[in-house]
Structures are given as structure tokens and as C-alpha cells.
């Protein structure tokens, strides 16, 4: 029984990290940048997806990625992408590290 309690606590901690970390990452990485104000909600959604991949996608490429650099570089690419193509571009960027992530 104790084993299951430990598993439940770990799962809860991971779930909380995946909820809290994206907004912290997005805000921290954007605080000194210009031109992002109008797309912050989209970047926050991208950051949430990236954090879920970071913590739950089972691959060495994901585990060995520099996530701060990935997010910073991805934000710059997404900023320069037209709004109607931004979701597809975000999925494409994630697929470079996690190829089985698909848009539903």
C-alpha cells in the first residue's frame, strides 16, 4: 500500500509541475524580449505542451534537451510565424524532439 501512496504523490507532483512551470518559463524567457505581447496566450499554450512533452514523453532526445534554449528559440520562430500557421509550426517544433506528438 505504501508503494501506491508514493506513486500517487509523485504523479501529483509531476502534474502540478506541468501546470505551474509553463507560465513561469514563458514569463521568465520573455521578460527582456520585445514583440511578444500580442501572442503571449499562444506562447503560454505552446509552453504548456512543451512542458508536458518534457515530463511525460519517453525518449532520450527529450530527456537530454536544453528546454530553456528550446523554448526561447521556439518563441522567436513562433513570433515570426503568421498567426494562421502558428499552431502547425508549434507542433512541427515539438516534433523535432518528440516525433510522435500529433495535432488532434
* pLDDT tens per residue, range 74-104: 999 999 999 999 999 999 999 999 999 988 7
Residue 61 burial (CB count, 10 A) = 11
Whole-structure pTM value? 0.66
What confidence score (pLDDT) does residue 78 get?
93
**Kind and range of the H or E run holding 23:** helix 2-30
What confidence score (pLDDT) does residue 30 get?
54
What confidence score (pLDDT) does residue 37 get?
76
Alpha-carbon span 61 to 84, nearest angstrom:
29
Strands (E), the chain: none
Amino acid at each position: 500500500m505504501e508503494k501506491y501512496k508514493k506513486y500517487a504523490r509523485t504523479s501529483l507532483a509531476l502534474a502540478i509541475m506541468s501546470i505551474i512551470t509553463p507560465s513561469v518559463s514563458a514569463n521568465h524567457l520573455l521578460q527582456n524580449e520585445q514583440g511578444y505581447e500580442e501572442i503571449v496566450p499562444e506562447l503560454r499554450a505552446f509552453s504548456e505542451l512543451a512542458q508536458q512533452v518534457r515530463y511525460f514523453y519517453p525518449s532520450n532526445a527529450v530527456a537530454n534537451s536544453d528546454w530553456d534554449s528550446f523554448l526561447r528559440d521556439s518563441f522567436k520562430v513562433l513570433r515570426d510565424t503568421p498567426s494562421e500557421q502558428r499552431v502547425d509550426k508549434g507542433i512541427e517544433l515539438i516534433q523535432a524532439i518528440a516525433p510522435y506528438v500529433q495535432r488532434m
